[in-house]
Amino acid sequence: MKRFLKEYSYDMVKMFLNQFATAIFGFSLTMATMQAGNYTLRNVMSGFSIVFYLFLLYVTAWEIGYRDKVSVDLGKKKRSALTGALISLCANSVNFLFAVFIMLGTLIQEEVFGSIGAVCKFLAVFLEGMYTGLLSHPVGGMPLNNYWFVWFIVPIPAILVSSLAYWLGLRDVKGTSLFNKHDYPASDREPKRKRDERND
């Protein structure tokens, strides 16, 4: 596990920073639309923020998978479809930590847990800012963000998207790189020496 964290720590931090930046963007948009009283626009902006966040994760995870493909092809690393999910899980560890304290603050009737849970909920609302519009919808008489289990669900789309993108990048599946950086003909990916030998 220590080796895994060392190898992918940069990627985890990059995913977390993507979330942080998108959260600020989504939170600001949602607050602006809520102050304007336009709930339809709020939903649209929240949806846009979520899609944009997942798009950034997809691109990042695809690149990680494509990068690992080289090591896998050379036999230096074992192929594992779970790597993308584990990287995203680690990148979302702060979200799950907040979710645990929110759960404890809700279920345990102790002032200390209630206070910690309230602080973590405030931070979680900001850190998951792209979901603010969605989580403000009332269900059962109160907004979704008042249900503790929701905070365990919110990070799941990020983990699923990262897992899929990594898997596709690891296999260099054609057409799955959203920027098409690596959709080159097979001959362009061959080592130069081998192409020269074949041409001779």
Which residues touch 128 (CB under 8 Å, ≥6 apart)? 23, 95, 135, 151, 154
Selection from 19-28, 43-52, 158-167 with the highest mean pLDDT:
158-167
Q: Measured between alpha carbons, how far is residue 113 from residues 101, 110, 150, 164, 166 in Å?
A: 7, 5, 18, 37, 38
Task: Write the pLDDT tens digit of every residue in 160-180.
Answer: 999 999 999 988 875 555 555
> What pTM was computed for the model?
0.80
- Judge whether residue 70 has pLDDT over 90: no
Note the pLDDT of residue 186.
40
- Judge whether residue 104 has pLDDT over 50: yes
Separation of alpha carbons 154 and 157, rounded Å: 7
Note the pLDDT of residue 95.
95
Which residues touch 104 (CB under 8 Å, ≥6 apart)? 113, 116, 117
Task: Write the pLDDT tens digit of every residue in 110-148.
Answer: 888 889 999 999 999 989 989 988 888 888 888 888 999
Which residues touch 111 (CB under 8 Å, ≥6 apart)? none
First to last CA, the chain: 47
- For residue 131, the 8-state DSSP code is G
> Could you tell me which residue, 42 or 94, shows the higher pLDDT?
94
Note the pLDDT of residue 177.
59
- Judge whether residue 44 has pLDDT over 90: no
